[in-house]
Structure 1
Amino acid sequence: MLTIAWGKVKGFWKEEEGLGMLEMILIIAAIVVIAIIFRKQLSLIVANLLEKVGKKSEDFISE
């Protein structure tokens, strides 16, 4: 009985299905940390892009 339980524990430990989810969580966490570190620079880039889009759309509409 103990050997059957131990075999199931070993099988569960070697199972790699959850590994993909762990990798995804780690990647998302790394992206969030990078975004927090560079949030001022990222907000400036986004603001500049939105300003350019606004100018281009105004130019397009006025023509």
Structure 2
Amino acid sequence: MEKFNQLKELVASVEADAEKFYNKNSGAAGTRVRKALQQIKTLAQDIRNEVTEIKNKDK
């Protein structure tokens, strides 16, 4: 559950940069958004692997 909470915090933290990029056309904010999305992707894959491992452990 710890990684899931990290994922939620990461999504919340990038919200301001996403707004700056889409509404104010800030290129630097776009770079930060892309970096955060890559971190989100990696963390989501870690969570998927963890869920699969826990699910299969019971079998």
The answer to whether TM tops 0.5 is no
* TM-score bracket relative to the smaller structure: 0.3 to 0.5
Tell me the TM-score normalised to structure 2 length: 0.43
Instruction: Give the structure with higher Rg (CA).
Output: 1
TM value normalised by structure 1: 0.41
